[in-house]
Structure 1
Amino acid sequence: MPYLIGPVLPPGMLARTPQPSLPTGDGLVLRPFREADAPAVHAAFQDPLLQRWHARTADSEDEVRGWLGEWIAGWGEESIAQWAVVDTGTGVLLGRAALREVRLDEGSAEMAYWTVPAARGQGIAARATTALARWALDDIGFHRLELQHAVGNDSSCRVAVKAGFTLEGTKRSAVLHADGWHDMHLHARIHGD
């Protein structure tokens, strides 16, 4: 049975070009991850606060190198797109911004982010998320970006709102973390917001 509509974004939309670097215009750049980022990513995942809101931890730099390989390959597979958020002047890793659950046919993806402890409270996650959302919606043509965070993660809620993501509701008992099931806020930003 044929579909009545075509894909929102054609297959190959991302993979046909190299993953770009995305400057925020205010001292940050989102650049593709590199294998050399393994020590900094490993260190970030030792942070208890990051572990609280994620379902994954890193036991070694070798394990993180495996993740980085998956993250880098995800661009070509058009399934995930991960960027290192770095200081423009120093190149120091400050965090990560990503599009997960990429569905080109539906023109949708899920936003994700984290920051290293030293970078918190400086608006870095919001600035990186805003830049990535602008690129995805305006330059690439995604129609909808979703962003989820645990209801108890007030900092992440502030990032979502600052980055222009409207709170749409609460998904009850939606994600399992080490401390049990979490209700999740669902925020979204659509093309034209």
Structure 2
Amino acid sequence: MTRALSTPPVIAPGSLGGSPQPVLPVAGGLLLRPWEEADAPAFLSAYQDDEIRRWHTRRPSTEGQVREWFEAYRQDWQQEKGGHWAITRGGAEVLGRIALRGLDFDDGTAGVAYWVLPAARGAGVATRGLKALTAWAVAEIGFHRLELDHSTRNHASCRVATNSGYLLEGTKRSAAVHDDGRHDMHLHACIRGH
């Protein structure tokens, strides 16, 4: 059933899914590109890292499961539900992950998530990736608001958000379950023109 809107959608349906998922240039010779089958070992190894495990409770356990996730990522793009990219050095070496999730074309909103492999931390990889994804999503696609949340205990993610222009809007109390129990979550957002 199609619901009638009193206002037109901020982003026209078909704006993403009708085209291939783009490769996006990032400052410093990095590229955001769709995940490839050959990335499965690097993706799986990320979830063996204690810091990534600490903040991400949904984790693949085999390369086969990773490939299922990659297929779900491709379907997300085609169905305009999300976009998932590998953060890479020159399109080859995987340094991290970044995603747009929960796309709402009616309101022009989406959520952002990311992680970076241990060897790439401290070099601004997540910040540069987030800035590039944000610029594309806002300027080229037309999203009005992008938001992200992270545990209030995840100080590195908070720095990435603020250094990328995502203002801290508040704290969502007891909003997410992690391995060590419930965490309060910071909510950050980037709004077009602000």
TM superposition score normalised by structure 1: 0.96
Structure 2 residue runs of 5 or longer lacking an equivalent are none
Q: Distance in 2 between matches of 1:70 and 1:43?
A: 19
Question: Which residue of 2 is the match for residue 63 of structure 1?
Answer: 65
Distance 1:2 1:80, change over 3 A: closer
TM-aligned CA deviation for residue 105 of structure 1: 1.4
**CA distance, structure 1, for counterparts of residue 95 and residue 122 of structure 2:** 12
- Match for residue 83 of structure 2? 81
Distance 1:72 1:120 in 2: 27
Tell me which residue corresponds to 1:41: 43
3-state SS of paired residue (1:81): strand
Matches within 5 A, 1:117-156: 117-156=118-157
Aligned with residue 16 of structure 1, among 15, 18, 23: 18
AA in 1 matched with 2:8: G
C-alpha deviation, 1:33, in angstroms: 0.9
What is the alpha-carbon distance in structure 1 between the residues aligned to residue 132 and residue 27 of structure 2? 9
Q: 1:130-163: per-residue Cα shift (whole Å, max 9, x none)?
A: 0000000011100000010100000000000111
Give the whole-Å Cα distance in 2 for the aligned partners of 1:182 and 1:192. Answer: 31
Contact 2:170/2:187 (<8 A) preserved = yes
Letter in 1 for 2:107: E
Deviation at 1:74, TM superposition (A): 0.8
Indicate if the aligned counterparts of 1:35 and 1:69 stay in contact, CA closer than 8 A: no
The answer on 1:54 being equivalent to 2:63 is no
The aligned amino acid for 2:104 is: R
8 Å CA contact retained: 1:101, 1:110: yes
Q: Any gaps of 5 or more consecutive residues in structure 1?
A: none
Instruction: After TM superposition, give the deviation of residue 2 of structure 1 in Å.
Output: 4.4
* Match among 31, 40, 45 for residue 29 of structure 1: 31
Look up the SS of the partner of 2:60 in the other structure.
coil
The answer on whether the counterparts of 2:44 and 2:63 sit within 8 Å (CA) in structure 1 is yes
